[in-house]
Amino acid sequence: MTRLTTGGLIDRTTVLSFSFDGRPYAGHPGDTLASALLANGVHRVATSVNRGRPRGIMAAGVEEASALVQLEAPFPEPMLSATTIELYEGLVARGLPGRGKLADRPDPARYDAIHAHCDVLVVGAGPAGLMAALTAARAGSRVVLVDEQPMVGGSLLGTRGELSDWTATVLAELTSTPEVLVLSRTTAFGYYDDGFVLALQKRTDHLGAAAPDNAARQRIWRLRAKQVILATGAHERPVVFADNDRPGVMLAQAGRTYLNRYGVLAGNRILVFTTNDSAYVAAVELAEAGAEVTVVDPRTDLAPFWAAECARVGIAVRPGHMVTGTTGEERVTGVHLAAYPSGGASATVHCDLLLVSGGWNPTVHLFSQARGKLEYDAELGAFLPVAGLPGAGVVGVRVTGAAAGTVSLAGCLAGGAAEAVAALRDLGVAAQPVAPPPVGTDRVERAGLVLWTVPVEISLDGSDLSDTRFVDLQRDATVGDVLRAAGAGLRSVEHVKRYTTIGTAHDQGKTSGLIASGIMADALGVDMAALGTTTYRPPYASVSFAALAGRDRGAIFDPVRVTAIHSWHIEHGAQFEDVGQWKRPLCYPRRTAFGGLEDLPAAVARETRAARTGVAMLDASTLGKINVQGVDAGEFLDRIYTNIISTLKPGFVRYAVMCGMDGMILDDGTVMRVSDTEFVLTTTTGNAAKVLDWLEEFAQTEWPDLRVHLTSVTEQWATIPVVGPLSRQVIAAVAPALDVSNEAFGFMTWRSAEIAGIEARICRISFSGELAYEVNVPSWYGIAVWQAVFDAGQPYGITPYGTETMHVLRAEKGYPIIGQDTDGTVTPQDLGMSWVVSKKKLDFVGKRSFSRAENLRPDRKHLVGLLPVDRSVLLAEGAQVIADPDVSQLPVVMLGHVTSSYRSVALGGTFGLALVRSGRDRIGERLFAWQDGEVVPVMVTGPVLYDEEGARRDG
């Protein structure tokens, strides 16, 4: 066992059992999976994705790019860093060979999102962040403090309890201040514009199976701040050398954190390879905990304080040396040393843990995402934020503490308070910096040696595939890969990142980004400052899609709209189709004599026959409906539609078409005049919102002088067309007070009448060519009126029909569907509907475009009918229409395409509609449709194939 008997922030009185790779282990509350594994002597955790190399734990936090695991219980979750999983009872995990496996069942956990606004958002609850938050809180500001760890303290958590009393006091004060919100286990992962920060809070992950069902497992915080203070700390970076990926090779600060926070001595014979003074404290503390420690430092001028400390605790120091490689398989067993920088005098030293420090990378991700500028600091070997954002946004984004390159603890404490005072000043609040707690003398007083890799032969000739000098462990990307990128001519770090994939996985450049840039700069002989670094992009740490989706899953991912009559359709076996967000009955299949269900063609044949020879009814409630009111409503509609609306009298209905400014058809529908100052328009089902927006735009921007108001009433009305030669009898039965005769109630008029005691608006309009009455009632009564009509229609064999029958009926009559038979390049004239375009009106939207030369061309595509020569062949919608059946000569001249195609009982076979070049001049010609690799001969006809003289509409 490597767990110490005392020390750390773990609760030894409670034992948590867990399993890893099928073996049982024990840990304690406060552990991460990584610390618990190390406490059990497990170093090998995973296997690399491409090279299959054993991989261990390299870090103690979110920068881990090696120890990737899959959680199996309580619910499978792939690709997690062992260092970010808090241990819980019953945890089951296994190491991954680079790739995880998604769960084979839906995640039962709940995820949600919440908005919060604040004056000051502080990201990071280390020394700088706590000082900033406390200063802002005492000034009375609304403060949100987020931190990824379960407890505040940041880097202090890796120390021997330094300032632990102070952090506890600060936390207590913050949490008891009413306007302050402290969010633990919360990672700010993206900075967006104007102080908008997204953060992921892991609320119940650490509870495992004990997580309550009623609490969201993870929550996305959408934080909007007036001022943002980034106290995000720094990530230690390694130095690259051969076989630097072995289990047991770890960042120095991680080794210290495992010791102090988790009470785990991760090795007994420890070699610390450092280029800077910050790792010496780790070395000393580990030696004091009982390990045999050797320090290897390429520098020859050791700091006197640390030289004395090492001597005091018995640490052997090898100045002027470096690590050039390692030995071992499942765990490091030894280290190759050589003189720095010559590489001479090599030797091998045994060890079971190799700690590495190449310096620190300030965590500037969020600042960079905010388009903050970074400048290279050659002394620190790091990109530091330059104060102030370009574009002079109103939201201040400040960086403080180690994230700003501050090295000393005292500096971080003072810096946090100072940045808060500055942020508050920008908000017009005068604040005093809170007094920092007393701290000891800082012993990291000078910058280290900037070293990306131990000296390597620079060769751009291509990489050695046996290269084991890993830059991004998770991607198995090496120094050789970077050099090969340079050799391939890549000069931008952005290109190198994409070419090598370095920094594109969990790491997101935290440890690897700067090293890759550094190797590039050395290889190309250019200045690091000029080469720059890659742009950081959200997310800073991995975020699951489940968290991003939140509650917007399943039925509420996209709203499903149903009509007031929907439950009746379900009860009567309707088969549904999606039309936009609407569920519409496609058909109502009946049981056949053999006990099965009708297929679609059989149901449609039956339903169309009923509409053409008897009576049928449709739920058309999804039609868009817009109420237009105001004294200028008629004038407004005259300007919008191609035909005249203002002359329509109350009680009448008109078919109307609207076009864009370019003269292309936008939508069509009916206009019902309710009174002098009120109209109701219908729109295509899928176009309702678009048409309302279109009308609003004109009402508000082009003609604000017109007194007109627009309201969507789509949901307020249920619409039931009753269709067929027997429809008059049915309407007469349900509306006994209504004179349904053609003389009293003519085509294209509407009447108010009671149906089943409900006041209804009944329109004599037809989308089938048959005698038809469209019944409109308030939605509340939709199902009652539908049932009343259905009951009254029983003696006549009334048949409910769906959208497929509706399409067949309308297509037989050549009525186009906007968006199916048109595509935004079609004018009313192209459809053969010049009659709907007013010659009298001075102007309307689109009028001028009709006389553009392009729109007058005789070879424009026209809407025509197509009859396959073999009337059993169903044309494919979208099939190209061609003149020459010989398709061996390329290019084949395309004349147009099939827009609608159906089987028709009334026409005794298949038919279609098509847009065909000069189509009206080709009526009677034989053309061909190209589908499924065959040419299908078709005859061109006019678009109206049934009842061309319109004899049926009056019954």
Partner 1 sequence: MQLISCPWCGPREEAEYHYGGQAHVAYPHDVGAMSDADWADYLFFRDNPRGPFAERWVHAAGCRRWFNAVRDTGTHEVLAVYRIGEPQPELGTQASR
Residue choice 662, 823, 925, 954 for contact with partner 1 (CB under 8 A): 662
In this chain, which stretch among 175-183, 549-557, 744-752, 847-855 interacts with partner 1, using CB under 8 A? 847-855
Select 189 or 280, whichever has its Cβ closest to partner 1.
Answer: 189
Binding mask 80-119 toward partner 1 (x if CB under 8 A, else -) reads ----------------------------------------
Site for partner 1 in 375-404 (CB under 8 A): 390-394
Report how far residue 118's alpha carbon sits from residue 552's, in angstroms, rounded to the nearest whole number.
26
Q: Is 558 in the site for partner 1 (CB under 8 A)?
A: no
CB 225 within 8 A of CB 121: yes
**Does residue 193 belong to the site contacting partner 1 (CB under 8 A)?**
yes
If the CB atoms of residues 299 and 847 are measured against partner 1, the closer one turns out to be 847
Q: Could you tell me the smallest distance in angstroms from the CB atom of residue 194 to partner 1?
A: 4
- DSSP string covering 481-511: HHHHHHHTT--SHHHHHHHH-TT-STTTTTT
The interface region with partner 1, picked from 511-519, 788-796, 848-856, 885-893 by CB under 8 A, is: 848-856
Nearer to partner 1, 676 or 859 (CB): 859
Tell the residue number behind the tokens 């200028």, with chain if given.
Answer: 632
Cα R_g (the chain), whole angstroms:
38
Distance, CA of 437 to CA of 743 (rounded, Å): 96
Q: Which is nearer to partner 1, 445 or 702 (by Cβ)?
A: 702
Phi, psi of 470 (to 5 degrees): -85, 135
For 206, other C-beta atoms within 10 Å of its C-beta total: 17
Q: Which long-range contacts (CB under 8 A, 24 or more apart) does 465-470 make?
A: 468/53, 468/242, 468/243, 468/244, 468/245, 469/240, 469/241, 469/242, 469/244, 470/240, 470/244, 470/245
Instruction: State which of residues 219, 847, 862, 953 lies at the interface with partner 1 (CB under 8 A).
Output: 847
Q: Would you say 694 or 790 has its CB closer to partner 1?
A: 694
CA gap 689, 708 in Å, rounded? 18
* 947 φ/ψ sector (left φ>0, alpha ψ -120 to 50, else beta): left
Q: Closer CB to partner 1, residue 334 or residue 393?
A: 393
Shortest separation between residue 370's beta carbon and partner 1, angstroms: 12
Q: How many residues in the shown chain lie near partner 1 by CB under 8 A?
A: 26
DSSP 545: H
The region of 399-407, 521-529, 589-597, 844-852 touching partner 1 under the rule CB under 8 A is 844-852
**Which of 475, 478, 481 minimizes the C-alpha distance to 462?**
481
**Nearest distance from C-beta of residue 309 to partner 1, angstroms:** 50
In a 13 Å sphere around the CA of 845, the CA atoms on its Cβ side amount to 23
DSSP 581-624: TEEEEEE-PPBPTTSSB--HHHHHHHHHHHHHHS-EE---TTSE
Determine which residue in the list 853, 908, 932, 951 makes contact with partner 1, applying CB under 8 A. Answer: 853
Nearer residue to partner 1 within complex by CB, 193 or 445: 193
Give the residue with the Cβ less far from partner 1, 12 or 707.
707
Least separation in angstroms between residue 134's CB and partner 1 is: 28
Six-digit token string for 600: 């679609």
DSSP, res 277: T
| Pick 96 or 188: Cβ nearer partner 1 | 188
Question: Closest approach of Cβ 556 to partner 1, in Å?
Answer: 17
Contact between 661 and partner 1 per CB under 8 A: yes
Q: Does 839 bind partner 1 (CB under 8 A)?
A: no
Q: Is 843 in the site for partner 1 (CB under 8 A)?
A: yes
The answer to whether 870 contacts partner 1 (rule: CB under 8 A) is no
- We find the least distance from the C-beta atom of residue 701 to partner 1, in angstroms, to be 5
Cβ-based nearer residue to partner 1, 129 or 686: 686
Among 849, 887, 918, 923, binds partner 1 (CB under 8 A): 849
* Dist. CA 64–CA 510, nearest whole Å: 9
Q: Mask: binding to partner 1, 211-250, rule CB under 8 A, as x and -? A: -------------x--------------------------
- Tell the smallest beta-carbon distance from residue 198 to partner 1 (Å): 9
> Which of these ranges, 120-128, 191-199, 293-301, 670-678, lies near partner 1 under the rule CB under 8 A?
191-199
Buried b (16+ CB within 10 A) or exposed e, 284-314: bbbbbbebbbbbbbbbeebbeebbebbeeee
Distance CA 713, CA 776 (A): 12
* Cα–Cα distance for residue pair 869/394, rounded to 1 Å: 70
| Of the candidates 765, 837, 772, 827, the residue with the CA atom closest to the CA atom of residue 798 | 772
Residue ranges in 741-800 that form contacts with partner 1 under rule CB under 8 A: none
Nearest approach, Cβ of 700 to partner 1 (angstroms)?
Answer: 4
196 lies in the site for partner 1, by CB under 8 A: yes
The interface mask with partner 1, positions 678-707, x = CB under 8 A, is ---------------x--xx--xxx-x---
Give the nearest distance from C-beta 712 to partner 1 in angstroms. Answer: 10
Residue 890 contacts partner 1 per CB under 8 A = no
**For residue 278, which amino acid is it?**
S
Measured from the CB of residue 702, what is the shortest distance to partner 1 in angstroms?
6
Cα–Cα distance between 928 and 866 in angstroms, integer? 10
Residue placing its CB nearer to partner 1 in the complex, 194 or 599: 194
Q: Which of the ranges 192-200, 376-384, 546-554, 877-885 carries the binding residues for partner 1, by CB under 8 A?
A: 192-200
Are the CB atoms for 72 and 64 separated by under 8 Å? no
* Tally of residues, the chain: 955
Nearer to partner 1, 314 or 390 (CB): 390
Nearest approach, Cβ of residue 6 and partner 1 (Å)? 49
For partner 1, the closer of residues 390 and 824 by Cβ is 390
The reply to whether omega before 238 is within 30° of 0 (cis) is no
Q: What is d(CA 852, CA 680) in angstroms, rounded to the nearest whole number?
A: 32
Query: How far apart are alpha carbons 181 and 145 in whole angstroms?
Result: 6
Q: What is the three-class DSSP state of 479? A: helix
Nearer to partner 1, 663 or 943 (CB): 663
Q: How far is the CB of 821 from partner 1 (least distance, A)?
A: 24
- Calculate the CA dihedral of residues 459, 463, 467, 470 and round it to 10 degrees: 90
User: What mask of x and - would describe binding to partner 1 in positions 613 to 652, judged by CB under 8 A?
Assistant: ----------------------------------------
Considering the complex, state which of residue 430 and residue 842 has its C-beta at the smaller distance from partner 1: 842
Closest approach of partner 1 to the CB of residue 659, in Å? 12
- The verdict on 526 binding partner 1 (CB under 8 A) reads no
What does 508-543 look like in DSSP terms, one character per residue?
Answer: TTTTTHHHHHHHHHHHHT--HHHH--PPP-S-SS--
Nearer to partner 1, 551 or 848 (CB): 848
DSSP secondary structure letters along 351-416:
-SEEEEE--EEE--HHHHHTT--EEEETTTTEEEEPSS-GGG-SSEEEE-GGGGT--SHHHHHHHH
CB of 853 to partner 1, least distance (A): 6
Whichever of 854 and 886 has its CB closer to partner 1, that residue is 854
Least Å from the CB of residue 662 to partner 1: 6
Residues that bind partner 1 (CB under 8 A): 192-194, 196, 224, 390-394, 661-662, 693, 696-697, 700-702, 704, 842-843, 847-849, 852-853
